[in-house]
Chains A and B, each alone.
Chain A
Amino acid sequence: MELFGQTVICGILLGGMYALIAIGMTLIMGVMKIINLAHGALVMVGMYVTYFCFQEFGIDPYFGMFLSMPVLFFIGCLIQKYMINRLVEVESILPENQVLLTVGIMLVLTEAARLIFKSDYRSVATGYSSSTVFLGGMSISVPMVIGFFIAMVFTFLLHLFLTKTDLGKSIRATSQDRDAATYLGVNASRITMITFGIGSALAATGGSLLLPLFYLWPDIGHLFTAKSFIITILGGMGSTMGAIIGGLILGMAESLGATYISMGYKDMVGLVIFLLVLLFLPGGFRSLAKR
């Protein structure tokens, strides 16, 4: 029973951090109607920025995160403005061009990281990296708890931003009807740029929170692209709440899979749930709430 409790709690904590990354992808998908396959690579870059701050200047990852966020916001804005927007404006034979472009960006970011940091596995060793707290008979990793709570705080802040500010409302309006937003005076291309920036900054945050828990190497991006893609589908596309639910489900599935089946099969459990959802609940868990 304790093992089960520990597994579930661990899954929820991990899922909260996954959710933050997936929310970034969901935001971008909602506004631009494209799947950003470079999202995981942006997580990876965010992790390296935080890692670099830790390695060179001894800045704790939880503080380094606040450097990584603006850097990634800036990179995200540049990618949107000078690369993706250019393709949006051009009449192309393939509407999938934008998605292909994100694959290209992913490859460039990954290989650039390999060039700078080599392919070595790296990790951040802080005083609390392997510390645990005990809850009854369950042991829970401290960085997971901290990461989960920071992720929830950021999710809440994002929610406030999207519902209370004009800029946030403009982002939601643009994702629901781009032309109607333009009629009302919203500069849609500026909004997409800011959205991409915010999405990338969230990716950096999620990545930095996971840094004390994961090994870091240039190809780790693929893992996060897959995870956030699965979470987005699980939750129902374009929904923040859906992304949170999807994140928690994926986190728990991986955790339960790792405990009760085997560590090597943990990703399989998540993928099986992903397939089942695609087959039997194509609108994601969000469609259940709408009924």
Chain B
Amino acid sequence: MLNIKNLDVSYKDLQVLWDVSLEVKQGELVVLLGANGAGKTTTLNAISGLLTVIKGSIEFLGKDITSMAGYKIAGLGIVHVPEGRRLFPEMTVRENLEMGSLFPQAKAKRNETMKKVFEFFPILQEKQNQEAGTLSGGQQQMLAIGRGLMALPKLLILDEPSLGLAPVLVKQIFEIVNEINSHGVTVLLVEQNVAQTLNLCHRAYVMENGRITLQGSGAELLNNQHVKEAYLGI
């Protein structure tokens, strides 16, 4: 479904991604792991068309999207739920959700999808007329994911949805991600929360200093000596 080949990306003169290759197949839940500054978010922003790629290619459903404008990429069905939620704080919960469904197909099913999102997150229905900025951290993350679902994504990209949340909420968010995936939405999840996500995913990539250093199924990586030492502290 998503195929990244030999990607190089730089911010002005500073190259941050080297030869990144990554694949996400239809229906999978793929995790991209790595420490702060490893280049995870940069990879996602390159997919979403916010950055200029200097070398390599990004293909989605057989279509080259390497140098496509960001707003068009969203129209293809790649929905990016950014790190730090990035809600519209002075718009209501409902308006935030509506902003998720701007494209014709998604707009036609707006009310239907919103019902489904409210089933996933009943708290959002309760607070639908409240400004997004007044929600708690966990509720904001739910709204961010809900806003992503409103676009009827083919590929849902989640950038550190567990950031800044209490452990019990983290668990809940991952359960929801799993459930969304089991409903047939392909998910690319970026995380630092290694143990929990490796148990959850089909396949995973590990990123270090702007390169993919390891890849394999979740179970394989959980047993990998390097992952154990560097990320799980065993």
Residues of A within 8 A of B (CB): 163, 166, 169-170, 172-173, 176-177, 179-188
Given contacts A185-B103, A185-B151, A186-B71, contact A180 B87 (CB under 8 A): yes
The main secondary structure of chain A at its interface with chain B is helix
Q: B74 and A172: CB pair below 8 A?
A: no
CA distance A184 to B149 in the complex (A): 11
Which of A170, A184, A186 has the most chain B CB within a 10 Å cutoff? A184
6 smallest beta-carbon distances between A and B, as pairs:
A185-B74, A180-B86, A176-B88, A187-B71, A183-B80, A182-B70
Count of chain A to chain B residue pairs whose CB atoms are closer than 8 Å in the complex: 66
Residues of B participating in the A interface, judged by any CB pair closer than 8 Å: 48, 50, 69-72, 74-75, 79-82, 86-91, 95, 98-100, 102-103, 107, 147, 151
* Contacts A184-B147, A185-B71, A185-B102; A173 near B86 (Cβ below 8 A): no
Other than the given A173-B88, A181-B88, 18 more pairs (CB < 8 A) read A166-B102, A172-B88, A172-B90, A176-B91, A177-B87, A179-B82, A179-B86, A180-B82, A182-B48, A183-B82, A183-B86, A184-B79, A184-B99, A185-B71, A185-B75, A185-B103, A186-B99, A187-B71
Chain B residues, CB < 8 A from A184: 74, 79, 99-100, 102, 147, 151
Closest to B44 in A: A183
Contact between chains at A169 and B86 (CB < 8 Å)? no
Please measure, in the bound complex, the distance between the C-alpha atom of A166 and the C-alpha atom of B95, giving whole angstroms: 9
Give the docked Cα–Cα distance between A170 and B74 (Å): 15
Given A177-B86, A179-B86, A184-B102, is A169 in contact with B95 using a C-beta cutoff of 8 Å?
Answer: yes
CB distance from B198 to the nearest CB of A (A): 27
| B74 touching A183, Cβ below 8 Å | yes
User: A172, B91: Cβ atoms under 8 Å?
Assistant: yes
Question: How near does chain B come to A29, taking the closest CB pair, in angstroms?
Answer: 15
